[in-house]
Structure 1
Amino acid sequence: MTHSELPQDPAAFALWREAQDIHARSHLAGVYYLIAWLLVWTMVGEPGPQLVIGLTGTAFFAALMFLRLAHRLPAQHTEALLQGWLNRQWTLILLGALGWGLTLGWALSSPELENSRVIAIMATIAFSTASIYHLAMRKHLSLLILPLLYLPGLLALMLDWQAQRGLFIALIVYFSYLILALGRNREVYRNHLALELEMLEQQQSLEQLSRTDSLTQLGNRYQFNSLFPVMVANAQHQSASMSLVLLDIDFFKRVNDEHGHTCGDACLSAFAERMRQVFRRRSDALLRLGGEEFGVLMPNTTLEQACLLAESFRLELTQQGFNVQGNSLPLTASLGVGCFDPQRDDNAEAFFKRVDDALYKAKRTGRNRLVQA
């Protein structure tokens, strides 16, 4: 899975990581529960009298096994889907632990299963050890697995205290060790998750930097090249309007020549801020395409709507200009505006060229004007 396919929201990523880890570490547990149960049952001297219990247990553990093997991770990595999958998976895990805890209690309390007790105890130790090392994600749920596995057996041993107190004490000591180890393993898991989240945040910051113009904080040409074809394709697929506004500051070279590049940079930042004030819809994508050329991608926007906003920007700029570093700069801009038309534009490149030609027509015919593509 590539970085772009990972959930980008920290909460969703934490759920995704937990789901991935639990699935990888526990999806075969149902198979081992079933095998252990069959060993306990078949090691009885005469399994016939235990036929009903044996078949019932076999059906229970077989059903859990199939449910866990069939419980696939969700294709969509939304918080709701991941949380739902985790709730179901933890339910299956806890049901398996409860079923095996009852098995241990049955083996330790039934005289007929004396030959199976060692198998039941060894399997319980194996299942509980695996759980504290592989299922330490959630404190309360992870901790709940241990009493489900051990309490029925411990209660059975208490009922035969004189004969079984040594085994009872040994299991209690190991039980306490598992609780301590679970706390340590949970801390290790949380630290590892925190490190992954920090790396995800750093990756997002680097990606944001790679897509953002450092001077104006608008999207850069790389982001435009990524967004524009996708937005055009969506407009074409959905038969929706998609407009593009291209803006070029008139005679910007004079600003750099007469006032210096520092003032020119301040001018570009002020121009970008003015764009944010006019093109302020959340769906609009504002970009600096290079030098003094800017663009606005406007999904679900007709040509008339785009022209209205673009013209209001041009007029406001003409009337107010900029006051930058003590300099009053009467800047203007030339604009080309177009709306994607499947009958005219074979693809995104053709659409861009049509609007770009309109921009250059505005510059050739006197500047400080808007030309429709």
Structure 2
Amino acid sequence: MTSISAATGPRLRLWREASDTHIRSRFGGYYYLLAWAMLWLTSRNPGQNLWLWSGGVLLLLGFFILRSSERPTEQLPAEQLQRWLDQRWVLILLQSLAWGLMLAGIQLHPGVIVSHLVVMLCVVVFGTALAFTYPMRMPSCALAILLTYLPSTAVKIHLGIGDIGESVALVIYLSYLGLFLYRWHREYHISLDRELRLLRQGEQLDRLSRTDALTGLSNRYQFNALLPNWLASARRQNSMLALVLLDIDFFKKINDQFGHRAGDLYLQAFAERMRQLFRRDSDILLRLGGEEFAVLMPDTSLEQAMLLAERFRAELTEHPLNIPGQNPAQYPPLTCSLGVGTFQPLCDDSAEAFYTRVDNALYRAKAGGRNRLELA
């Protein structure tokens, strides 16, 4: 799922606008060509002025090819999406101007006799289509409507075609179209805001489902999802993958003697100590449940993992956990047992097999006296 952080939110808005602009305009070129053909075939002498009609077809065909030549992709950075949108709007405005001038031109041409009703229908229909299709940018869309609407309307008024009531109706409809453009613009952005809000909520829920609420580390669900993927990647790339399992020694006594609140404080302090010691960017720290923790270490050899794990164990022994707001002498010092192993393709045929092998090493450390490390 696409991240909706503060940095990527504006970029996602650009992507939605670019995608909607492309999708909504895919078939527009067909309708311009169809309307021009209808004007041509319904004119009084379709066989005359072929250069004018065919020239219009070629011009509209050129716009159609330009509109279909490039489509945005979700991977484009914000600058390229903005550039694509700006170029697409220049194309929309140029086509609107060309269409308006073409409709005005056939009314002014002395050798072309077309139905005034059909011309006005083309003006109204394409103006409405622009308002409905491109409400995401209201000023640009309003300009495109005026470029479509005004040339032939001005010619109509100049030549005195139709009665005054028809001209008034066209002006009133243009005002009505402006009001609807404003409404569709608001509805588009309200819908977009709602979609982004839902995506953010979904992202937050997904993050919460993969995070241990007490310690802030990744949880067992995340571990079960990551381990098979990392194993597959290590097998495919012939790379190393180490796993460290940690279990706090005699943790049940803490809960029994001092209560679960003290146990929670210990777990939080233990997780913070893990962050201090396993602080490489590639290390993935997890709480698997209860007092059991894990560290996934991609591109790490057994010797490297063992050194880091042993350093953590020794630091925990030499420098006991500091429980915030509590007297250090009130609680006994904690130690932990560790199992360390690396992925072995010949014996680990699954994520479960790899985990079981390292888990067995952890149990050997506990059975051997605790506060020690065993290699798998």
TM interval, shorter chain, is 0.7 to 0.9
Q: Tell me: CA distance 1:301–1:196, structure 2 relative to 1, closer, same or farther (3 Å).
A: same
* 1:298-330 CA-partner distances (Å, limit 9, x unpaired): 222222322222222212111121233333431
Question: Deviation of residue 87 (structure 1)?
Answer: 5.0
Aligned-partner residue type, residue 353 of structure 1: T
8 Å contact kept, 1:335–1:362 = yes
Range with greater deviation from structure 2 (159-168 or 24-33): 159-168
Give 1:292's aligned residue. 291
Structure 1: distance between partners of 2:314 and 2:192 = 52
Aligned length: 369
Task: Choose from 345, 352, 373 the match for 1:349.
Answer: 352
1:211 lines up with 2:214 in the alignment: no
Question: Deviation of residue 119 (structure 1)?
Answer: 1.5
Q: Over aligned residues, Cα RMSD in angstroms?
A: 2.7
Identity of aligned residues (%): 47
Structure 2: distance between partners of 1:79 and 1:207 = 25
Give 2:335's aligned residue. 332
Give 2:17's aligned residue. 18
* 1:161-202 CA-partner distances (Å, limit 9, x unpaired): 798876655434333332232122111111111111111111
Range with greater deviation from structure 2 (130-139 or 75-84): 75-84
Give 1:229's aligned residue. 228
Counterpart mapping for 1:66-77 below 5 A: 66=65, 68=67, 74=73, 76=75
Range with greater deviation from structure 2 (337-346 or 30-39): 337-346
Question: Deviation of residue 263 (structure 1)?
Answer: 0.2
Task: Choose from 351, 357, 361 the match for 2:364.
Answer: 361
TM-score by length of 2: 0.87
8 Å contact kept, 2:107–2:114 = no
Q: Tell me: CA distance 1:90–1:230, structure 2 relative to 1, closer, same or farther (3 Å).
A: farther
Give 2:320's aligned residue. 321
Structure 1: distance between partners of 2:20 and 2:31 = 18
Give 1:278's aligned residue. 277
Aligned-partner residue type, residue 39 of structure 1: M
Range with greater deviation from structure 2 (362-371 or 57-66): 57-66
Structure 1 unpaired stretches of 5+: none
Give 2:107's aligned residue. 108
Structure 2 unpaired stretches of 5+: none
Counterpart mapping for 1:123-272 below 5 A: 123-157=122-156, 159-160=158-159, 169-272=168-271
Q: Tell me: CA distance 1:50–1:133, structure 2 relative to 1, closer, same or farther (3 Å).
A: same
8 Å contact kept, 1:157–1:164 = no
Structure 2: distance between partners of 1:151 and 1:69 = 27
Structure 1: distance between partners of 2:3 and 2:95 = 30
* 1:98-143 CA-partner distances (Å, limit 9, x unpaired): 3322222213322444423322221121111122123111233323
8 Å contact kept, 1:137–1:189 = yes
Counterpart mapping for 1:113-124 below 5 A: 113-124=112-123
Question: Deviation of residue 267 (structure 1)?
Answer: 0.6
Q: Tell me: CA distance 1:117–1:306, structure 2 relative to 1, closer, same or farther (3 Å).
A: farther
Range with greater deviation from structure 2 (59-68 or 301-310): 59-68
Q: Tell me: CA distance 1:91–1:351, structure 2 relative to 1, closer, same or farther (3 Å).
A: farther
Range with greater deviation from structure 2 (197-206 or 110-119): 110-119
8 Å contact kept, 2:29–2:60 = yes
Give 2:308's aligned residue. 309
Give 2:42's aligned residue. 43
Aligned-partner residue type, residue 366 of structure 1: G
Q: Tell me: CA distance 1:160–1:212, structure 2 relative to 1, closer, same or farther (3 Å).
A: same
Structure 1: distance between partners of 2:332 and 2:139 = 65
Question: Deviation of residue 36 (structure 1)?
Answer: 0.2
Q: Tell me: CA distance 1:261–1:162, structure 2 relative to 1, closer, same or farther (3 Å).
A: closer
